[in-house]
Chains A and B, each alone.
Chain A
Amino acid sequence: MLTMLPSLVIDAVGIAVAFLLMFGLWRMSSPVTAPNGIKVAGVGMAAAVIASFLYLFDVSAAAKPHLPINIGLALVALAIGGGLSWWGGRKVAMTAMPQMVALYNGMGGGAAGAIAAMELFGSRAHGITQLGVTLLGALIGAVSLSGSLIAWAKLQGVLKKPLRIKGQQIINAVVMLFTLVAGLYIIFIEQNGSVPILPMQGLIWLFFGCAMLFGILMTLPIGGADMPVVISIYNAFTGLAVGLEGFVLQTPALMIAGMLVGAAGILLTLLMAKAMNRSVSNVLFTNFGDVAKQKQGAIKGSLKPTAAGDAGIAMRYASSVIVVPGYGLAAAQGQQKLYEFVKLLIAAGVKVRFAVHPVAGRIPGQMDVLLAEAGVPYDLIFQLEDINEDFSNTDIVLVIGANDVVNPSARTDKTSPIFGMPILNADKAKQVYVVKRGEGKGYAGIVNPLFYADNCNMVYGDAQAVMAMMIEAVRGLGLSAAA
């Protein structure tokens, strides 16, 4: 039968795309193969989108008369949504990547929620399993949409302070309860055919409204430092929602891709929470700012400022240097200058490596991307577990725009809020230079004993300006082999 052909093609493309998406992520196991992996996955996605227009041979009788309009709407939506997003993704600065990811993620959650809404409004889902899965997907998708938007607003600086009110957890619980009751009531009515107290449509809107409100309320109190974990959780949420709606629509490609991301997102969230020394429930249900304000023990030593030029020249004559970059470097847009300085050192025969903490930057791996953007080759970039042993036999460590990730209190001070967090052992090097804007504290508001240690000197100033001075000083030696 000729009518079999379109659905056969759709199924075949579905299998192909499921494979290609998995294969694409598989290729991400190395920076060498990763660029090609995402392209392969992209081809799969494009093929799947084109193939899904074959659904038009298979629409329900009720939708037949609307088909021309629906096709038009689909094309317009694809062009606008895809076009705007593509343009935004090409333009966005690497420093703004976390909020961009949050935004795209919210879109996915919203799309999953909208699909569920159509199933509900059209009364297409039947039976407790179908209805239940639709509603669960709708709930997760809606929470992911509104929560991601709040996360975006926070990272973008639209929302400045975490909003906390008394009894927040009770309010959240009540809203959640409302959502669940609305959902269960929808199932009850669909099953028994009894007359609802509210019109069905109103009930569905109420359900979505409550779910989205819950997403907002849940995200509002969470501080900026914990946003990475939140984004990662919502990434997993959206994946789960997509997977569940894939079941409702009987589309295995959605089920596989969605659940894949759901599991991946949960793994990433756990890794990240571990690197930040926080448990996931801690992030979601307590407030970060509250723990940071505790008294500090007396600190021995003093802050010893030094000139940028002197520090630069010292590094030129060292045999090994490890650079520890933090978000402060990116905030000052100093990566380019830093790498220029590092190239001078390398040309002079110094062994230079970069040590990146898992939570340097605002989402894991962001610092790596920022360094790569400045042209730093990935083989010079080392992760905590690969380089931490080497600090003790390194001449000089240059800490630039980082603070908490090199705070030795994490190892020694049981009262410190970051106690137990894995840190870079910068303090074990022979000499440490810390480039810092001023005497302020880090993101977590904790005093850093490293800065007061005997082997540490402070270089105050804007990271970019400091790097420029170091470059000038080293060039001034006239020994530069880089010329």
Chain B
Amino acid sequence: MTIDGFVAIYIFMLAAFAGWVIIGRVPAILHTPLMSGSNFVHGIVVIGGLYALLNASTVLEQCIGFVAVLLGAGNAAGGYAVTDRMLAMFQASGHSGAHASAHKGGSHHRKSKPPQKG
């Protein structure tokens, strides 16, 4: 498959529009996870890194390709880890109340388990 200039512009235009619409729907309360989540999404660059590294034919290319995959994998894995962790903390009322208020002092960190409720 070859994507020439104009097809590329169509793809870019539609993707940009989709991004604008999708992100416009996200409530302000989730803006930090949104930032790290969109950060995770551009971690897809790791795939490009893998393609480049597998096609490397000189030592220099192997070095740069290695860096590309290293950084790309870091971007994807890290972005996922923090987003998932943050989103798991958002819970609705009545989920934790009784347990935590009975907890004297309350200074113990409750382990934040992802909410099971839909």
Contacts and interface: CB of A to CB of B under 8 A. Distances in A.
Given A49-B46, A264-B22, A105 B39 contact: yes
A242 B85 contact: no
Contact of B54 (A63, A117, A261): A63
Nearest to B16: A263
Contacts of B115: 35
A115 B41 contact: no
A343 B37 CA distance: 31
Contacts of B28: 356, 358, 364-365, 368, 383-384
A363 B50 contact: no
B75 A85 contact: yes
Interface in A215-239: 231-232, 235, 238-239
Contact of B72 (A90, A108, A340): A108
In the complex, which of the residues A73, A104, A246, A265 has the most CB atoms of chain B within 10 Å of its own CB atom? Answer: A104
A278 to B, nearest CB: 17
Contacts of B75: 85, 104-105, 107-108, 111
Contact of B90 (A11, A34, A49, A69): A34
A323 to B, nearest CB: 15
Contacts of B57: 60, 62-63, 66, 122
A59 B54 contact: yes
B23 A251 contact: no
Nearest to A372: B89
A97 B51 contact: no
Contact of A22 (B5, B22, B42, B85): B22
Interface residues of A, number: 126
B86 A257 contact: no
Given A263-B20, A268-B34, A17 B86 contact: no
A89 B31 contact: no
A258 to B, nearest CB: 6
A121 B62 CA distance: 11
A63 B56 contact: yes
Contact of B100 (A235, A250, A375, A384): A375
A267 B107 CA distance: 38
Chain A residues touching B, majority SS:
helix
Contact of B70 (A24, A39, A80, A94): A80
Most-contacted residue by chain B among A11, A88, A100, A115 (CB, 10 A): A115
Contact of A255 (B8, B38, B53, B100): B8
B47 A253 contact: yes
Interface in A109-127: 110-112, 114-115, 117-119, 121-122
Interface string B79-90: 111111111111
Contacts of A377: 91-97
Contacts of A340: 100-101, 106
A264 B19 contact: yes
Contacts of A86: 77-78, 80-81
Interface string A246-262: 11011111111111111
Contact of A63 (B11, B55, B93): B55
Given A121-B60, A255-B11, A343-B101, A97 B19 contact: no
B3 A101 contact: no
A389 interface: no
A101 B35 contact: yes
Contacts of B88: 35
A251 B47 CA distance: 9
Interface string B51-68: 111111110111011111
Given A85-B75, A111-B75, A380-B93, A259 B12 contact: yes
Nearest to B99: A375
B52 A103 contact: no
Contacts of B24: 267
Given A32-B118, A63-B56, A239 B42 contact: yes
Contact of A267 (B20, B36, B55, B87): B20
A25 B38 contact: yes
B29 A356 contact: yes
B56 to A, nearest CB: 6
Nearest to A344: B101
Interface in A349-393: 356, 358, 361, 363-366, 368-369, 372-373, 375, 377-381, 383-384
Nearest to B60: A121
Contacts of B100: 339-340, 343, 375
A70 interface: yes
Given A66-B57, A114-B67, A45 B80 contact: yes
Q: 4 shortest A-B CB distances, which residue pairs?
A: A89-B81, A365-B31, A85-B78, A263-B19
Interface of B: 1-3, 5, 8, 11-12, 15-20, 22-58, 60-62, 64-97, 100-102, 106-107, 109-110, 112, 114-115, 117-118
Given A82-B74, A254-B48, A263-B18, 8 more contacts: A73-B69, A89-B80, A129-B5, A239-B38, A249-B48, A249-B52, A250-B2, A258-B15
